[in-house]
Amino acid sequence: MEAAAVLKEAIGANRPILGVVLGSGLGFWADHSLQDVKKIPYAALPDFPQSTVPGHHGCFVLGRLHGHSILCMQGRVHYYEGYTLRQVTLPVRTMIEMGIEGLVLTNAAGGIGSSLHPGDAMILRDHINFLGSNPLIGPARKGETRFPDMSEVYCRRWRAAFHALLGRSGQAEVAEGVYLATTGPSFETPAEIEAFARLGADAVGMSTVPEAILARQMQIPVFAFSCITNYAAGRSPGPLSHEEVGVTAAAAEGRLSALLEAAVMSFERRG
């Protein structure tokens, strides 16, 4: 992969152990929490998709946190921007080519469940792919599983270690739930949200699922959480807007930073 080759040259011998995808309004974490930071803009990588959404800076950030070497995506690209799902998942595939052993995915989401409120976090236990497509459509690459199992997309062992760490550190527990991905870019209608609730969804968003599917195919453990930035349509007292996403994420910055750090610290390397 040309992008991986250029990225390897840019960061040198410091191979990342973890990949972290920072969703809408969450890019601050790479700047505020990592040490020995080095940034590589997506624009510097050949044939690499470019983010067009406010709040997605569009660069890789290599840094360290408590001894872990981490490669962050400071912003992602989305299906609704006009990219194919193969293009949407290219950044994660590139991180896997770089040698990551685990992947942390984050997103901003609308709360469907009655117990979820703006500013809350939700750990993904499972997902519903409502995108109408799949990033694995097309020829399988040599050595890749054609029909990967999706019984446990989000690593149960990692989630258990995360919850245990929160308990030991005295942090408040975080609920687990089911995330449903739609294409966007329009927000959902109240009738759609009602249907999604009946399907078992606790939160709804426009990302994460394609990257999780690819990582599962590549046998990379995945941990994911949503920042609930708004009530979903029909649950919200007013109209929805993307600006609300950034405002809520900024207000919850301290809590989200602590959760991301806990996700990193609870990762257990294989073997």
pLDDT, averaged per 10 consecutive residues of the chain (271 residues), comes to 83 88 85 90 90 76 91 92 95 94 95 93 98 95 91 98 96 95 95 97 97 97 95 82 75 86 90 54
**What pLDDT is stored for residue 31 in this prediction?**
87
**What pLDDT is stored for residue 56 in this prediction?**
55
Q: Is 108 a catalytic residue?
A: yes
**What pLDDT is stored for residue 53 in this prediction?**
72
- Residue 36 CA: distances (Å) to CA of 14, 39, 140, 170, 237: 11, 10, 37, 29, 44
Q: Which two tokens stand for residue 192?
A: 């759609």
Sign of the alpha-carbon dihedral angle for 33, 159, 236, 192: positive
Q: Is 176 a catalytic residue?
A: no
Is 128 buried (19+), middle (13-18) or exposed (0-12) by CB count in 10 A? middle
**What pLDDT is stored for residue 271 in this prediction?**
54
Q: Is 134 a catalytic residue?
A: no
Distance of CA 4 to the CA centre of its chain: 20
**What pLDDT is stored for residue 55 in this prediction?**
59
**What pLDDT is stored for residue 184 in this prediction?**
94
Q: Is 230 a catalytic residue?
A: yes
Q: Which two tokens stand for residue 113?
A: 């469940």
Is 145 in contact with 217 (CB distance < 8 Å)? yes
**What pLDDT is stored for residue 84 in this prediction?**
96
Catalytic residue, chosen from 78, 109, 231, 262, is 78
Catalytic residue, chosen from 108, 201, 218, 224, is 108
Closest residue by Cα to residue 103 from 19, 7, 193: 19
Is 155 in contact with 222 (CB distance < 8 Å)? yes
Q: Is 57 a catalytic residue?
A: no
Q: Is 194 a catalytic residue?
A: no
- Residue 235 CA: distances (Å) to CA of 109, 130, 198: 13, 20, 14
Domains and CATH numbers, the chain: 2-265 (3.40.50.1580)
**What pLDDT is stored for residue 248 in this prediction?**
79
**What pLDDT is stored for residue 2 in this prediction?**
83
CA distance 83 to 178: 25
User: Helix, strand, or coil here: 118?
Assistant: coil
Query: Checking DSSP bridges between strand 203-205 and strand 176-181, what pairing results, if any?
Result: parallel
Q: Is 154 a catalytic residue?
A: no
Closest residue by Cα to residue 106 from 50, 182, 24: 24
